[in-house]
Amino acid sequence: MIVSIGSVVRSELLKIGSVRSLCIALAAVFAATVGFSLLMSGTFTAQDMAKPDFDPLRSSFYGLNFGQVGAICFGAIAVAGEYKNGAIRVSLAAVPRRGLFYTGKIAVIGVLSLAMGMVTSVTCFVAGQILMDDRGVGIGDPGALRAVVGCGVYLALITLFSAGLGMVLRSAPAVMGILIPFLMMMSFIIGDIEDNGGVADFLPDRAGQQILLQDPTGSLGPWAGLGVLALWSGAALWAGAVVLRRRDA
């Protein structure tokens, strides 16, 4: 029996739709990012927005640091969750070609996370700029469209980074325990130690979030920074593919 990529994709969609924790994690990406972004945008005073270093564009996406936790959980559970109760054996029995299985799974995770990321990004931008009133920017202003698209892509890449690591570690809690502190703390710790243009600029979160700045600073431009994040995600996905091919289920 020959299994097609379409069959694998439909199967993976059914799996994700039937797991409550995955649906909650995906919804948390939207809720946390939008919620914290609007909370922050609503607290800016006229004095805050009058400061020379105030970035009305980046301020719309303040909650991204919290929303990416949901993205990490979604990616990790979607991949590593199958190993928890041995469901991976059933999946591989149905789809013996491991490369096809992995491609279908990652494609579904990537498309769903990108769709949710774009909805989240547009909502944050529109609502955030409304709350900032005359200090806000329009979609046609420099960097605005780039940031809206970049925010959605950023969330998808973080999800895929988590998914690749999930295949390597085969444990969702392990992935969360590594990535959440790494993305939430490491950039700040290293950034406080060194000057601009150092290693911190090439960490996945700091590099990827260059796309959100109206006037990016540091050694990486907005698209180069997102490219660095894509390399991190690609490396994790490649490692996941190698582990799936070489290890027993």
Beta-carbon neighbour count of residue 80 at 10 Å? Answer: 24
- The H-assigned helical ranges of 85-184 are 87-94, 98-131, 144-169, 172-181
pTM of the model as a whole: 0.92
Residue with the two structure tokens 């996945």: 204
Alpha carbons 228 and 187: distance in angstroms, whole number? 14
Q: Tens of pLDDT along 127-180?
A: 988 888 777 788 888 888 999 999 999 999 999 999 999 999 999 999 999 999
Structure tokens at 77: 């559970």
Alpha carbons 1 and 180: distance in angstroms, whole number? 41
Where in the chain are the domains? Answer: 5-246
**Alpha carbon 230 to its chain's center:** 11
What are the pLDDT tens digits along the chain (249 aa)? Answer: 567 888 899 999 999 999 999 999 999 999 999 999 988 877 766 676 767 778 888 888 999 999 999 999 999 999 999 888 788 888 888 888 999 999 999 999 999 999 999 999 999 999 988 888 777 788 888 888 999 999 999 999 999 999 999 999 999 999 999 999 998 887 777 755 555 557 778 899 999 999 998 888 778 889 999 999 999 999 999 999 999 998 876
Beta-carbon neighbour count of residue 216 at 10 Å? Answer: 18
CA dihedral 75, 224, 221, 184 (to 10 degrees): 20
Alpha carbons 122 and 60: distance in angstroms, whole number? 10
CB-based contact 47:53 (threshold 8 Å): no
Q: Tens of pLDDT along 19-35?
A: 999 999 999 999 999 99
**Distance between start and end Cα atoms, the chain:** 21
